[in-house]
Amino acid sequence: MTADLQKGRMGPRACLLGLLALFVAGKCSYSPEPDQQWTLPPGWVSLGRADPEEELSLTFALRQQNLERLSELVQAVSDPGSSRYGKYLTLEDVAELVRPSPLTLHTVQKWLLAAGARNCHSVTTQDFLTCWLSVRQAELLLSGAEFHHYMGGPAETHVVRSPRPYRLPKALASHVDFVGGLHRFPPTSTLRQRPEPQVPGTVGLHLGVTPSVIRERYNLTAQDVGSGTTNNSQACAQFLEQYFHESDLAEFMRLFGGNFAHQASVARVVGQQGRGRAGIEASLDVEYLMSAGANISTWVYSSPGRHESQEPFLQWLLLLSNESALPHVHTVSYGDDEDSLSSAYIQRVNTELMKAAARGLTLLFASGDSGAGCWSVLGRHRFRPSFPASSPYVTTVGGTSFQNPFRVTDEVVDYISGGGFSNVFPRPSYQEEAVAQYLSSSAHLPPSSYFNASGRAYPDVAALSDGYWVVSNHVPIPWVSGTSASTPVFGGLLSLINEHRILRGLPPLGFLNPRLYQQHGEGLFDVTRGCHESCLNEEVEGQGFCSGPGWDPVTGWGTPNFPALLKTLINP
């Protein structure tokens, strides 16, 4: 849908707003994101000021309505005890609920028209507006912004960003949440290739995690694959300027997919597929989502909306708000430190995740690969939670290792598994009992000053994250590790359960957490051994939280025992 911003005579209101767009100093302006951190990520360099006539694509997040009602509906459609359980909203239902007020739509459109914005496109929910402006126009529109070119990352990505904060006319304070495309840089992969463990002899041992090892550990049989007869589908989303190659997927399935039915090609790519070298993380996501969720139609969101001034994660959220028919399960390995993001941005993204939950989408996010994390606040160390892992509307996946790295044994904590307590979001009611139990019974809690015990606690579940084989650029690569591996594995298994539900005429699982916590992790292997990493100081000595019986902030409720998990989630 194209916003009606045709040039023509401007009435008095449009003229006034046009002047406000230019005169935004002092009392006449406000900062939507005063707490947004701006630091140049390691490995990035400035290439100088952008040309004033260069074109930018900026995204304006418009203020939504009825968010309390949306939250109530998410609870109702996700709670097995509710009469509305599984009766998900359509995209059109969500749009009707959250669509900005006519005043907001009119005010923002007139403001952008006065600034010379072009080719403005909205989404079905009308709460995002993406427009093209020249650098000169954008710097006049967004007082204080100063656009520069930057280059960095493994792929030497080019982006346009502003190192300075921006301000908007006060007349827009009740209409615009934030403007995307100014500050946030593309994420970098935290995936690691660990050295191969050394043990004498290899008789009866496996030499790294493959689909066969996954299927053995989580008790899948050759029959546990998609039927190919439903409209069931799954997706992974990638924002790292990395791409997968279909030839790598085919080679991976040739090497490792011989004992189960599978699909050897992706059904749909949304976004742009680069022609350069494949990325290990992109290859991993696709190969393990399609081997765990075997024989199920798979989509890949590949750095959608790639323009130098756009944020790929934000563009993915826009796509979710603009497509009526989407895959039921989405796995995402993206994350940022909570403290690096503005309050306006983090709250709005959380609302977008809530919109997805209302529609019955299962969103799984990797918990991160830095354990509890660590940062210093006024000279004092604290743990550092990750977002969107800390959102109360996603299912967050932690990581485990085999107790014996060469045998299919019980699992223990993978020390990199992200987990902890949000400093932004309060603990949701669905996890109140489980978290309170952990906090009252754990014998190894860190000092209370290191974490917000009343915050949303994560992860919710876990899977193996250590020692994977990946095929990338035609080469089999061993010992790849990270929660970027555990997340597509868990997502693929949920897709298999959705297959059974759909064949029985039941709705897909949707937002899983209320059901998961009500059932106390039934159908999962409880991981009770190990701790993850944190601050390297004398007080905690690098140790964060430790696992224990039941839920814990390292491995959640545990890892999947597929037949038991299917049994507990197949019921209406």
Residues marked as binding for Ca(2+)?
Answer: 526-527, 550, 552
Among 484, 486, 534, 547, which one carries the catalytic annotation? 484
Compute the distance between CA of residue 476 and CA of residue 491 in angstroms, rounded to an integer. Answer: 23
Contacts of 461 (CB under 8 A, 6+ apart): 395, 396, 397, 398, 490, 516, 521, 524, 555, 556, 557, 558, 559, 560
Does the annotation count 308 as an active-site position? no
Q: Looking at the DSSP assignment, which residues form a beta bridge with residue 480?
A: 193, 468
Structure tokens at 489: 């594995």
Contacts of 140 (CB under 8 A, 6+ apart): 21, 22, 115
Q: Which residues sit in the known binding site?
A: 526-527, 550, 552
Per the CB < 8 A criterion, the answer to whether 41 and 185 are in contact is yes
Does the annotation count 281 as an active-site position? yes
Helix (H, G, I), strand (E, B) or coil at 169: strand
Among 127, 281, 336, 533, which one carries the catalytic annotation? 281
Contacts of 237 (CB under 8 A, 6+ apart): 300, 301, 316, 330, 331, 332, 334
Among 127, 241, 285, 460, which one carries the catalytic annotation? 285
Compute the distance between CA of residue 224 and CA of residue 335 in angstroms, rounded to an integer. Answer: 31
Q: Is 142 exposed, middle or buried (0-12, 13-18, 19+ CB in 10 A)?
A: buried
Candidates 545, 525, 523; CA nearest to 448 is 545
Structure tokens at 109: 């459109």
Compute the distance between CA of residue 127 and CA of residue 176 in angstroms, rounded to an integer. Answer: 9
Helix (H, G, I), strand (E, B) or coil at 262: coil
Catalytic residues: 281, 285, 484
